[in-house]
Amino acid sequence: MNNDKTAAFAELIKESKSIVFFGGAGVSTESGMKDYRSEDGLYNTVKQYGVSPETILSRSFFEAHPDIFYDFYYNYFLNTSAAPNRAHFALARLEEAGKLKAVVTQNIDGLHQQAGSKNVIELHGTVQKHYCPTCKTFMPVEKIKALRGGVPHCEKCGHVIKPAVVLYEEPLDEAVTDSAVAAIASADLLIIGGTSLAVYPAAGFIRFFRGRDIVLINREQTQYDSRATLVFRESIGEVLSETLKHAGLM
């Protein structure tokens, strides 16, 4: 990793008073979570189920085929030993130091909170919560996992329980998006990590940034590379942890 770039990133952090992190799937793949396009990623659903992950993760498919939905959902999102990685812990430390004001994430795994982050804005919801769409009764995630892919039903009204995630064909929660926009708009440094910035509407939130510096950490090129102050192609966990050490925060 380039020491000069790491030092420059550390200086940006030390000078900043209101940092926001905007992250995507690349943050969690370092914890072992599946992405969409890797060899063993979510697109294997096409071979296993005959349809794309976007189809399975749609509201209409959930309602029409809850048995297939929950089999997929358990295998790819709940039956995992994934734990927070260096990136998650570095961001929690940055918040603890009073520098990071919010994590805005497209991920639904809850790993940021497990690492200790407090102000996490989950654009697409979370697999840590499940509820009945009819009577709004919540069911503990432990009960969902215990079914091992079986369809959970509300213990009060019998309706199929739904994960508290935003499925395809569903809009983002307005209160959540307002919080994300407000956080990004008030930041003086925006760190973007583990996202291609190709998924909308979430990726469009970047346009609300009014600060001076953007640091982009992603394995592949993005549409915002030319606007970024610094661009890293290395592991997001390595970049964040080494930079915080350089800044004297870890």
pLDDT of residue 60: 98
pLDDT of residue 7: 96
Q: Which residues contact 32 (CB under 8 A, 6 or more apart)?
A: 80, 81, 82
Average pLDDT across the chain, whole number? 93
Instruction: Based on the fold, state whether residues 27 and 137 are members of the same structural domain.
Output: no
**CATH assignment of the domain containing 150:** 3.30.1600.10
Per-residue pLDDT tens over the stretch 146-185: 999 999 999 999 999 999 999 999 999 999 999 999 999 9
**CATH assignment of the domain containing 196:** 3.40.50.1220
Say which of 124, 153, 159, 246 is annotated catalytic: 124
Instruction: Based on the fold, state whether residues 182 and 118 are members of the same structural domain.
Output: yes
Give the separation between CA 100 and CA 95, rounded to whole angstroms: 4
- The residues pairing with 130 across neighbouring beta strands, listed in sequence order, are 139, 163
Active site residue 159: no
Instruction: Based on the fold, state whether residues 232 and 142 are members of the same structural domain.
Output: no
Question: How many domains in the chain?
Answer: 2
Per-residue pLDDT tens over the stretch 231-247: 999 999 999 999 999 99
Band (250; pLDDT cuts 50, 70, 90): confident
**Residue 183 within any structural domain of the chain:** yes
Per-residue pLDDT tens over the stretch 53-85: 889 999 999 999 999 999 999 988 998 888 999
Strands (E), the chain: 19-23, 100-105, 120-122, 125-131, 138-139, 162-165, 189-193, 213-217, 230-232
**Residue 37 within any structural domain of the chain:** no
Give the residue among 186, 193, 138 at the shortest CA–CA distance from 161: 138
Q: What residue numbers bound the domain in which 15 lies?
A: 3-32+84-124+171-246
Predicted TM-score (pTM) of the model is 0.93
**Residue 142 within any structural domain of the chain:** yes
**pLDDT over 90 at 142, yes or no:** yes
CA 173 to chain centre: 15
**Residue 105 within any structural domain of the chain:** yes
What are the structure tokens assigned to 163, written together?
């994960």
**pLDDT over 70 at 39, yes or no:** no
* 180 phi, psi to nearest 5 deg: -65, -45
Instruction: Based on the fold, state whether residues 192 and 89 are members of the same structural domain.
Output: yes
Instruction: Based on the fold, state whether residues 104 and 199 are members of the same structural domain.
Output: yes
